[in-house]
A and B are shown apart, each in its own frame.
Chain A
């Protein structure tokens, strides 16, 4: 069933992907993260989702802005987690058992990453070369560092999960700017009506992504 519509659709996706790669002009002033924390987030986001030939990176998608805006939600205050003690540590497979909400994990985790960078390399994370930043992020991911009683893996997983949310959630939450994450992926967003496409087997969907705000790519 692939035909003319499929070909036209691919070029639509390509042109909107190029548009989405343009970085936003508007500056954002963080409300939760302080200067040093913000510098870390900008640098880390750029390594976690770099801009490349496959599409925009986390900075063009305003993922740091998303993270800062999320810090104001009940989720970041731990309102959706069971936070009653006692807090007893156990095997990893029994899940998260620390008394910290996401805001605290960010505060302590970023401070820990910067302290480690300073000890090891004499500079904060954001001032290091990208390859060195990657090494530190890999060490955090493997859990070879610890920030007080927070294993680095716990902080890294929190950060990575929220970065992915920022790049790929609806733009109403402050990330996925110009729907760039969705265009890169080929996800139509809130289009949500495929009655006429369900049996167009293997064909490229022709309509661009759309936000629940009505913004289109």
Chain B
């Protein structure tokens, strides 16, 4: 079982307390009425599927209930770092997020 550090509870918690919430850091078009169809399609549906580090949203649904951001390696399933929603992406050191 993965141990994931919740940035709000400030402790490492078992994976079963969490839900995956899709790709993180998606930027909504600033003026939707001026956005082209292609831009909307891009925002709504198109997602990266990288092999390696991937920024994701996770929710501590069976804990504090908060969404937060997480950098996870899709090859090793290693949680590299977690940080609070709305905060800048932290410098990645050698921490494992747990």
Q: Tell me if chain B binds chain A.
A: no
> A residues near B, CB below 8 A?
none
